[in-house]
Structure 1
Amino acid sequence: MAEREYSRYAQKAIKRFYDNRDQIDEQRLSELVTNLYLAEGEKKSKKLWESAGELMERLNVPPSRIEHILTKRDPAILAEVVQDIQKGLIRPAPKPKPGDAPAAEK
């Protein structure tokens, strides 16, 4: 696949997005709690829970806790995770430093 050339402006915007992805994911997860409380219909609810699972993985929530939450499907339990993230009890994975090779290449 050909590598795409981005303008300097676009490169900076992309960099800012990835630099702030943890905060963006945290915000989206808290919005999902509200949406899950208000969700009507199995299909919509299922999609919201899938999104919540993906966000929790990116936010470094322990896999056992993710499994428990997705099994119970209770927005109140998900809200507790959001509170733990906001309190700093669950910390995102450290960001790789520029120049570090991904773990798969080491």
Structure 2
Amino acid sequence: MDAISNIEKFTKGLKIEKFFENVKKQYAILRGLEIIDEASKHAISKLKARRKEIPWKDIAGIRDKLIHGYFDVNLELVWETIRREIRELKKQISQILEGVQIEEN
């Protein structure tokens, strides 16, 4: 959740032109997406089975879709991903975490 919150902070009020110009923000946002990617790859299989509506494969492959090779990053796709999908992902993860806490109690 921290990675998503950080991405939201980094992009609040940010326009696409400024995103393309600001290498520090690009690196910070890409790092956040890498963390989300790794976390989803290591999600507990039981959790994946319970929440089949979550596109686990899409989340787990986000880094591969956004970064082609070592130095070729599709910034337009990164921008579209954070603008269109990050809120929904945060909502889904919040629901998952709430469900896990309820089951543990």
Structure showing greater radius of gyration is 1
TM value normalised by structure 2: 0.42
Q: Which has the higher helix share?
A: 2
